[in-house]
Structure 1
Amino acid sequence: MAVMMAGIFWLAIIFSLTAVGQKIDSESYSSLAGISRTTRSLADDDKLKVTVYYETLCPDSVSFITYQLVPAWGRYRAQMDLKLVPFGKSYIDESNPSRPVYHCQHGRKECTLNILHGCILDKLPFDKAFAVVGCLMQSMRTSFDKCIVLHETAKAEIQECARGNQGAKLYKRFSDETNRVATPLSFVPTIEVNGVYDIFEQDQWLYRFDRTFRQEYGKKFNQTL
């Protein structure tokens, strides 16, 4: 009987420890999930922060993202804290706050696509969102249906965002962020590094992004990529 009671006692302890462990694991997972949705985390302290302000139907944006940014991201994503702001030289007429009117450099379709990109970036983890955006920017005729195929479960939520108030709120935020750099931007795309926009360095970033990123990373962190 004493042996049986001892066995039950130890089983109770093991069950208790297992339950605690599951609780800790669950809490840790929730915490990590929350961190993954934020713009920056402690792990980003050793990354070079790059913000790209672009337009979805801008030929220069298409060329830069496709031929400069996408390849560099593939090589240096562990060293780059990348942010995309799809607004460019757009303008929001808020003379009637309840019905804002969007004006975009390349027409109404561009405004619609800018908002769609914003919702993609909001609804998917950045790695996945960037892959979808990169796909869309390969050509001005690339379809959302084609590029979202690997993330079908998020498709309806993204479309709902783009059609509704959430997309409008995101676009207003992108407007504020872009206007903080310049109103309007002198050129699209515009690249900001570590929160600093340097008009004299733009050509280096636009046409020699890989080399310029390595140089700036080396200066900041004293490391060679």
Structure 2
Amino acid sequence: MTKLHIVVIFAVVVFATSLENKCNVPPEFWCSSEEVARDCQVTEQCHRYYEPKAKTDKVQLTLYFESLCPDCKNFFRSQLTKTYTALSDIINLTLVPYGNAREEKDASGKWNYTCQHGEDECVGNLIETCAIHLLKNISVYFPFISCIEHDQFGTPQFSAKKCAKQQGIDLQPIMDCSTSSLGNSLEHQMALKTEALNPPHKYVPWVTLNGVHTEEIEKKAEADLTALICDTYKGSPKPAACNKKTGLHHSWREF
């Protein structure tokens, strides 16, 4: 190894060490927001990065939630449904129905789930997870899941039946999946996604934007998700919905 190599390696280590206090996200997400770019001291580089990607990149939005969580339902009703309906062309939305649940494998290899709001919530998570898997197209499964989350009074089974009828969806395969080994395995994948969060989630709903979660991102998502998506999207022109002023709402979280 030459002296030049040693100097370069030393410089990289020093630079990385200097970022540790503020920059706590992986390098691939340093340009995910102005806040993260600033903390990681790459604002200028990120501006150059945005330029060639602006016309094609959608905003990556992921929601970690659970089916009977009142705070999650409020987020669907007040923020997510209207924002995704208006801005679906610029959002890649991922739904992860698991939340604050816990899983434990029994002797047979089956995963047993314990959910914050009881057994019905575990059933609701499974129904929504199976809907995502079987319906495949988000333009089909998002209205179905959104309908379930908008229903404040019924059990997930009752809400799913009502919403499937409204959406013209064959519910039986979804219900069969929710009680099968396939559904059990699919929900385990939702658990793995949730448990892999960095930083770990502390409450639900929990939002990541372009793979990153910060308290500032969460507060903006809960107050005005449409504005957050519009501000994050670097493409041009922006959708008409981005030119409309939206009101502020309270924040909801469940620990």
Normalised-by-shorter TM-score class: 0.7 to 0.9
Compute the RMSD of aligned alpha carbons. 2.0
Match of 1:120 in 2: 131
CA contact (8 A) 1:117 1:133 kept: yes
More divergent stretch after superposition (84-93 vs 44-53) = 44-53
Name stretches of at least 5 consecutive residues in structure 2 with no aligned partner: 1-54, 243-255
Moved more, 136-145 or 68-77: 136-145
Partners of 1:73 and 1:83 lie apart in 2 by 11
Map 1:1-225 onto structure 2 (within 5 A).
45-94=56-105, 96=107, 98-124=109-135, 125-142=137-154, 143-150=159-166, 154-181=170-197, 185-217=201-233, 220-221=234-235, 223-224=237-238, 225=242
Query: Given that residues 110 and 181 in structure 2 are in contact (C-alpha distance below 8 angstroms), is that contact kept between their aligned partners in structure 1?
Result: no
Given the superposition, is the C-alpha separation of residues 94 and 71 from structure 1 closer, same or farther in structure 2, using an over 3 Å criterion? same
Cα 1:183–1:214 change in 2 (3 A) is: closer
Tell me, in whole angstroms, the C-alpha distance in 2 between the residues paired with 1:99 and 1:78.
39
Residues 107 and 45 of structure 1, relative CA distance in 2, 3 Å threshold? farther
Are the aligned partners of 2:111 and 2:188 in contact in 1 as well (CA < 8 Å)?
no
Q: Structure 1 residues 104, 182: closer, same or farther in 2, change over 3 A?
A: farther
| Distance in 1 (alpha carbons) for counterparts of 2:197 and 2:204 | 12
C-alpha displacement of 1:67: 1.4
Task: Give the TM-score of the pair, scaled to structure 1.
Answer: 0.74
In structure 2, do the counterparts of structure 1 residues 191 and 171 end up closer, same or farther at CA, with 3 Å as the change threshold? same
Distance in 1, matches of 2:177 and 2:127, equals: 8
- Partner of 1:221: helix, strand, or coil? coil
CA distance in 2, matches of 1:108, 1:184: 24
Which deviations, in whole Å up to 9, do the C-alpha atoms of 1:143-177 show, x marking residues without a partner?
Answer: 21110015556312111110101111111000000
Structure 1 unaligned regions, length at least 5 = 1-43
Larger radius of gyration: 1
Contact 2:110–2:184 (Cα < 8 Å) also in 1: no
TM-score (norm 2): 0.65
Q: What percent identity do the matched residue pairs reach?
A: 25
Is 1:204–1:212's contact at 8 Å kept on the other side of the alignment? yes
Give the match's secondary structure for 1:148. helix
Q: Which runs of 4+ in 1 moved over 6 A?
A: none
Provide the secondary structure at the position in 1 that maps to 2:99.
Answer: coil
- The alpha carbon displacement at 1:195 in A equals 1.4
- Counterpart Cα distance in 2 of 1:64 and 1:194: 19
Q: 1:100: Cα distance to partner?
A: 2.6
